[in-house]
Every structure is written in structure tokens, then in C-alpha cells.
Structure 1
Amino acid sequence: MGAINLLLVLVMWIVMMLPSVMPMALTFASISRQRRVQQSPYARTGAFVLGYLAVWCGFSVLATLAQWGMLEVRLVTPMMVSTTPLLGGTPLIIAGAFQLTPLKHAYLRKCTSPLGLLLTEWRDGTLGAWIMGARHGTWCVGCCGLLMAVLFFGVGCGAVYLRNARKDTAANTLDRFRGSAPAGRLGYRCCSSLVRS
């Protein structure tokens, strides 16, 4: 039962996070082709994406272990509803306070404007691509990880909370397209008005 749940959680995180890395992966592939890398740029791009997903999968394993621990000591019900009001509100307060910190904004800058990673920290080879992807994933986990962790408490907090957390995470992802090519800017304008409303 536990291994199946973990596998389901990993698949969920991969499906959730793969779309958010695709603009960066396409940029990475383009730069790989321009640099005339000897290896196939697609293999390196795959390694980049796998590095990114490895970080999010690591995060999901930790979140799952935390969930199992909370279930074991009966801090939450099997439906992830907090058994104590303090536990229900604390993650929200921590995540909300983190949104205002310089560290959050530093992670957000790196996650939504990752071109610096490609220009100043380029690494050759498949392992180098994996490391770059893992580094980008680390910035994104630092930016949105607490919001994702709070989603574990969303069932007990209600649909309004989940909608707002989803909108904040989607808005962070959309910010990547703000300064991109004309099609990306048009998509940003159209989608951001829907997400932020």
C-alpha cells in the first residue's frame, strides 16, 4: 500500500511539474544546438529535464514521508484533515510569511529568469546537463515548495484556499513568459489575466 501511494505521488509530481520546465528545456536545447555540442542536444535536454524532475521527486518523497509520519501519530486523518487547529493554520502562516522574505524573492528571480544559469553556469556533457537541471529544480522548489507542501493541508482548508494557492503557483510559472518572444508575451497577457483574477 505505501509503495503504491509513493509511486502515485511521484507520477502526480512529474505530471504537475513537467509543463513548468518545458520553456526552460526548449531554451536549453536551442543553446545546446547553437553551441554545436558533439552529443545529441536532445539527450542533453532529456538529462536536464531529468535533473529538474529528480529534485521535485525528492521533494515529493519527503512530503510523502511527512504525510505518513503525521498519519502515524494521528496529527491528520487519512483524508489529510488536521486533527488540531494549530496544525491546520501553522503551515499557512509559515508559507505566507515566506512569501514576503528576500529568500523567496531570490528563488523566484532565479526560477522565473533562469537565463543566467544557461549563460554563466553552463556545464558540458550529459552529467553537466543533469546538474544544471537539478540546480534549476532546486531554485523552483525553493520558490514554490512551501506552497506545494501546504497543498497537503488543502483538503482540510477548503476549495477557496486551494484555488488561491494554485493561482499563486500558476502566476509564478507564467512570469517566465513575460520577457520571452512575442508569442510568449501574448500568451502571458492572455493567461495571466485569467489566472490572477
Structure 2
Amino acid sequence: MGDVSATGGREISRNGVSQRVSQRAFFGVSALLFAASAAATIVWCASMSAMGGMPMPGGWTMSMAWMRMCGQTWPGVAASFLGMWIVMMAAMMLPSLTPMLWRYRRAVGRKGETRLGRLTVLVGVGYFVVWTAFGLAAFALGAALATLEMQVPALARAVPVAAGVVVLIGGALQFTAWKAHHLACCQAAPGCGRTLQADAGSAWRHGLRLGVHCSYCCAGLTAILLVVGMMDLRAMALVTAAITVERLAPAGERVARAIGVVVVGAGMFMIARAVGLG
């Protein structure tokens, strides 16, 4: 009887050590990915800032990210944009994605799954596939608008007001039931009411679901970043902090609404300044 107890104790001890090693490896890799993506984003923003922009009617400057340079093709421009978009999204989303992935690992690990690394990677890839599709849509819309703005001066002059309106709408979305629903699904992961299976297909679908909920939840704040300026590291840091805090805070819905108050105020200020009242 004593030998059985000792064997069981050693097994529990080995499992505990294995779990601690797995936890340290997971968070270590996540930290390295965040550091690498953040560094690449900073370098990209610096290089884009060094290129300058195109002064536009209305007193604003168009980013070169939406323009085709001499010798470039539109597919090449889109590929370059998507590459940096993915790196930027990794830097912005990893602080809030990492806890969700860890909860997934714990949920699947309780079922005795030993392929946690591969399944976790599949969840992460599925998540960022959704964000890549979001980025492709953003590029198509941004490039089309940039082309119109260069051809129609009246439209270009309206951009500062339009940017303020987008910020205002993004802030208003923070108060909606739609936002609250997707935020709750992000916080309730894994599963959001579904039972997770420990297989590759389920991991892939779970990553896609997380990506959809996250992109919908962050749609307003991401739109704000796009109109304020993707190369603005301060704006990027503020949006990242807002997304992370509302996702990880115990009272996430209240935090989202508080962020909404600040963003609505910023949108009103931008509109007032654009029409000469600020």
C-alpha cells in the first residue's frame, strides 16, 4: 500500500514539474514573439515616417502605406501592407491573446492531451488568419479611398472631419450590446459556450472563432487607429492598452464604456478642430 502511495506521489510531482515547465515555455515563447513583433513594428513605423507623406487639401498628410510607389505593382503593395499588418497585429493582440491561449491549453490539457504545442499553434494561426482577412479588406478600402482623395480635392478636404466622425462612431460602439457580446465571448474563451475537442480541426475552428470575436470586438478601436495613423506609435500604444485592459479586466464591459467616453470626447474634439471651432 505504501509503495502505491509513493508511486502516486512521484507521478503527481512529475506532472507538477512538467506543467510548470510547459507554462514557462509557453509564456517565454509568447514574450519573445511579442518582443520581436513590437521591434519589427517600431522599425517599420520609423522607415515609413522617414519616407514622409503626401500633403493633401485640408491640411493633412496621406501615409505612403496607401500609395503605389514607382516600380511597384498593386499586388506587391498589398503583400507588403499585409506583411506589416500581421506583424503589427501580433504586437497589438498578443498581450490579450496570450491569456486566451493559456486558458485553451488548460482546458484541453485537463483531457490528457499531450500535443498542446501543435494545437496551440493551430489556434493562433486560425486567429491571425481572421486578422489577415481584416487587413486585406482594410487595405482595399484604404487604397481605394486614397486614390479618390488624390483625384477629388473636395473629398480630400473633408477627410479631417470624416476622421473625427469615425473616431466618434468607434467610441459609440463601445456602449453597444454588440460590443458587449463579443467582448464577453473573448473573456469567456475557450469555447464561448462550446465544448472543445482535443484535435487539430477543433483547434483550428476555435482559433477562427476567437479571431472573429476579437476582430468584431476591436473593430471600432482598429478603425480609429487606421484613420488616426497606422504609423503613429503613440496611437498604436494607446489602442493596444485599451484592447488589453478591456479584455483582461474583471469588469471588462465597464472598462469598455469608460474607454468609449474618452474616445467620444476625442472624436468631438477632432470634428470641432476640423471645422475651425477648436
Give the TM interval when normalised to the shorter protein. 0.7 to 0.9
Offset at 1:75? 6.9
Q: Distance in 1 between matches of 2:168 and 2:115?
A: 46
Q: Is the 8 A contact 2:182 2:217 kept in 1?
A: yes
Q: Is the 8 A contact 1:48 1:129 kept in 2?
A: yes
TM norm structure 1:
0.73
User: What's the CA shift string for 1:64-103, capped at 9, x where partnerless?
Assistant: 2221111111179xxxxx6413322221122122111111
> Structure 1 167/12 Cα, relative in aligned 2: closer, same or farther at 3 Å?
closer
Q: Is the 8 A contact 1:25 1:45 kept in 2?
A: yes
Q: 2:184 aligns with which of 109, 134, 141?
A: 109
Secondary structure of 2:149 counterpart:
coil
Identity of aligned residues (%): 24
TM norm structure 2:
0.53
Q: 2:227 aligns with which of 135, 153, 159?
A: 153
Q: Distance in 2 between matches of 1:171 and 1:18?
A: 13
Please report the RMSD computed on the Cα atoms of aligned residues, expressed in angstroms: 3.0
Q: Which runs of 5+ in 2 are unaligned?
A: 1-71, 252-261, 263-278
Q: Is the 8 A contact 2:167 2:224 kept in 1?
A: yes
Q: 2:137 aligns with which of 62, 65, 73?
A: 62
1:42-53 superposed matches below 5 A: 42-53=117-128
Q: Is the 8 A contact 1:13 1:60 kept in 2?
A: no
Could you tell me which residue of structure 2 aligns to residue 27 of structure 1?
103
Could you tell me which residue of structure 2 aligns to residue 10 of structure 1?
86
Could you tell me which residue of structure 2 aligns to residue 92 of structure 1?
167
Q: Distance in 2 between matches of 1:36 and 1:75?
A: 59
Could you tell me which residue of structure 2 aligns to residue 126 of structure 1?
200
Q: Distance in 2 between matches of 1:9 and 1:53?
A: 10
The structure with more radius of gyration: 2
Q: Is the 8 A contact 1:104 1:143 kept in 2?
A: yes
Q: 2:212 aligns with which of 138, 142, 148?
A: 138
Q: Is the 8 A contact 1:151 1:162 kept in 2?
A: yes
Q: Which runs of 5+ in 1 are unaligned?
A: 77-81, 180-195
Offset at 1:170? 3.0
Give the total of aligned pairs: 170
Q: Distance in 2 between matches of 1:30 and 1:138?
A: 22
> Structure 1 162/35 Cα, relative in aligned 2: closer, same or farther at 3 Å?
closer
Amino acid in the other structure paired with 1:31: A
